[in-house]
Amino acid sequence: PPRHSGELSSTQASTRLLAYSDALLSIIATVMILPVAHTKIHPDQKLGESIQQLLLMKIAVYLMTFLIVTVAWAAHIRLFQVIELIDDVLALLNLACMMLITFLPYTFSLMASFPGVPFGIFMFSTCAIVIGLIQAVIVAYGFYHPYLLNHQIQMSENQAFYKHHILQIILRGPVLCFLAAVFSFFFIPMSYVLLGLVIFLPHITRLIIWCKNKTGGPEEEEERHRLEAFTFYLNEPLSKERVEAFSDGVYAIVATLLILDICEDNVPDSKEVKDRFHDRLIEALSEYGPNFLAYFASFVTTGLLWFVHHSLFLYITKTTRFMGLLNTFSLAFIGGLPLGYQLTSEFAEKSHNEIEAIQVSCVITFFASIFQFAIWITALFHERETLHPLARYGGKEHAFMFAKLALYPCVSLGAFFLTCLLSKFSTAIFHIMQIVVPFAFLALRILVRISLAIMKSVLSLSRRKSVVLDEEETCLSPAETLS
């Protein structure tokens, strides 16, 4: 509902606009996996070669899209941390921005198909520059109508400084893109380097600052102090709600994209049913059995990885930039799950490729889950700022959290090694394994409780012997135990 119901009737809270933007951005980031998954591979071709030849380019397009969209998304978060209320003009400008971001995957497809032609780079740069300009207009509009701004900035004396800083964050990418567009006409490799910079620049600057602080910290203390309140507010924590919303979008689209393929490819032709199966539909459908199994297995995997993510973020109180980066990597692999589904369902009964398809699935699942695990480890290093007391070292939920996050890396690694050891390992077994995992979650809960109870009784026994020793043990920091 409108906040200032009296005078400023046309201003609105930006919650829903941001939720809609997150949904758009997460879908765009993920949807480019479809061309990858739909790549037709001849059954007689060896999968190893095909992956190298056919898929590599499309996977590159997917990853570039994913990363550039997350960069745009991070800039969008910054922007709407400064501008807290919106009106119709800002809503329309934001939609224009979204339209151009939605178009970026196409420019990547062009670049991938014609890597030697400058037009693809030129088109991408133009889009990026226009996006930057629209966002600059949004900033200018926001500072021209200060009641739209974040309260802290609204009250501040250095409004001009804040404006300068946010414009710098927003226009950094477009300027690099402009250079890339210029270089594209006479030296294309340089353009690609510049485009790579757009993606990694925020993290590189972050790393440099971090290194500087480590080596010669106290020298710059003064300047840093001046910016502290601002840096704290605008640079460090990604808004937790928006990280969750973006992740939800990715998980949701991955979970549902699969049914599309099922609906388009696995409805038998009525003529074929008449001729080959004498009108027995169930027999015709039984041919698709492996596909259904693969579908349910993929949904279960996506759903449970969402569940782990959800459990993790319940106890995270602040998302640092590095955690955000790890989350992005995790999501990029989540987006790859449809590829795993496609491979395992396509090569269900072609022995050599079958094993390789399972291995690709395992690798994707492993990286998706290990990056989730890494978020948790990173959070533990600064647990006082980033974690809820219950999940900290020694907290009631700590052990269970650890078990939850470790489950998928272990399962996928285990499956991978099984494919190497057992020659009879098949997609069917793999999918059934995937479907059984949720019961492992419930079993885990019971297991952790039992082992905790045993540990407690052991501890209470030893406590009787020496109280001091026990206290030392509980105070052990997580950094020490984990390294």
Residue 332 · residue 364 · CB < 8 Å: no
| 65 contacts: CB under 8 Å, gap ≥ 6 | 28, 29, 32, 104, 105, 108
Give the Cα separation of 104 and 107 in Å (integer).
Answer: 5
- Choosing from 273, 377, 403, 418, the residue that interacts with a copy of itself (CB under 8 A) is 273
92, 458, 459, 476: which one contacts a copy of itself (CB under 8 A)?
A: 92
Q: Is 336 in the site for a copy of itself (CB under 8 A)?
A: no
| Residue 387 β-bridge partners | 316
- The least CB distance from residue 229 to a copy of itself, in Å, is 25
Answer for which of 259, 436, 455, 479 binds a copy of itself (CB under 8 A) is 259
Q: Should residue 256 be labelled a site residue for a copy of itself when binding is judged by CB under 8 A? A: yes
According to the binding rule CB under 8 A, does residue 468 interact with a copy of itself? no
By CB under 8 A, how many residues form the interface with a copy of itself?
Answer: 85
Q: Rule CB under 8 A: say whether 102 interacts with a copy of itself.
A: yes
Chain-centroid distance, C-alpha 215: 32
Cβ closest to a copy of itself, residue 248 vs residue 470: 248
Query: Is 264 an interacting residue with respect to a copy of itself (CB under 8 A)?
Result: yes
User: Minimal CA–CA distance to 236: which of 249, 244, 227?
Assistant: 227
Residue 256 or 462: the one with the smaller Cβ distance to a copy of itself is: 256
- Using CB under 8 A as the binding rule, whether residue 162 contacts a copy of itself is answered as no
| Position 17 contacts a copy of itself (CB under 8 A) | yes
Part in contact with a copy of itself (CB under 8 A); list of ranges 48-56, 191-199, 250-258, 462-470:
250-258
As given in the structure block, the two tokens for residue 158 are 């250095």
- Distance, in Å, from the CA atom of 71 to the CA atom of 5, rounded to the nearest integer, reads 35
Binding flag, residue 238, a copy of itself (CB under 8 A): no
> Of 51, 54, 60, 99, which lies in the binding site for a copy of itself, with binding defined by CB under 8 A?
99
Instruction: Collapse the DSSP code of 316 into the 3-class scheme (helix H, G, I; strand E, B; otherwise coil) and give the result.
Output: strand
Length of the chain in residues, anyone?
A: 483
Question: Residues 21 to 50: which contact a copy of itself by CB under 8 A?
Answer: 23-24, 27-28, 31-32, 34-35, 38
Q: Exactly one of 60, 188, 314, 413 binds a copy of itself (CB under 8 A); which one?
A: 314
* Residue among 160, 193, 267, 443 that touches a copy of itself (CB under 8 A): 267
CA nearest to 408, candidates 444, 377, 378: 444
Residues 6+ apart with CB under 8 A from 473: none
Rg (CA), the chain: 26
Is 456 among the residues that bind a copy of itself (CB under 8 A)?
Answer: no
The answer to whether residue 268 forms part of the interface with a copy of itself (CB under 8 A) is yes
* Binding of a copy of itself by 253 (CB under 8 A): yes
Secondary structure letter of residue 337 according to DSSP: H
Of the candidates 126, 21, 29, 129, the one whose C-alpha atom is nearest the C-alpha of residue 79 is 21
